[in-house]
Amino acid sequence: MIELNFLITSDNPSGTAMDGSLRLDFDQRVKCRLRALLEDGREVAIFLPRGTVLKDKDILRSACGLQVQVVAADESLSVCAVEDPLMFARACYHLGNRHVPLQIHAGELSYQHDHVLDDMLRGFGLDVHNCSASFHPENGAYSKHGSNHSHSHAH
Name the β-bridge partners of 131: 77
| Helices marked H in the chain | 26-29, 85-97, 115-123
Mean pLDDT of the chain: 88
Residue 70 has pLDDT above 70, yes or no: yes
User: Which tops the pLDDT comparison, 8 or 39?
Assistant: 39
What confidence tier does 154 reach under pLDDT thresholds 50, 70, 90? Answer: very low
Residue 10 has pLDDT above 80, yes or no: no
What confidence tier does 139 reach under pLDDT thresholds 50, 70, 90? Answer: confident
Domain spans in the chain, listed from the N-terminal domain onward: 2-72, 74-134
Mean per-residue pLDDT for 49-58?
Answer: 91
Residue 14 has pLDDT above 80, yes or no: no
For residues 53 and 61, what is the distance between their CA atoms, to the nearest angstrom?
15
Mean per-residue pLDDT for 112-134?
Answer: 97
Contacts of residue 109, Cβ cutoff 8 Å, sequence gap at least 6: 79, 80, 82, 88, 91, 92, 95, 102, 103
Query: Which CATH superfamily is 2-72 part of?
Result: Urease metallochaperone UreE, N-terminal domain (2.60.260.20)
The amino acid sitting at 114 is D
Domain 74-134 listed as CATH 3.30.70.790? yes
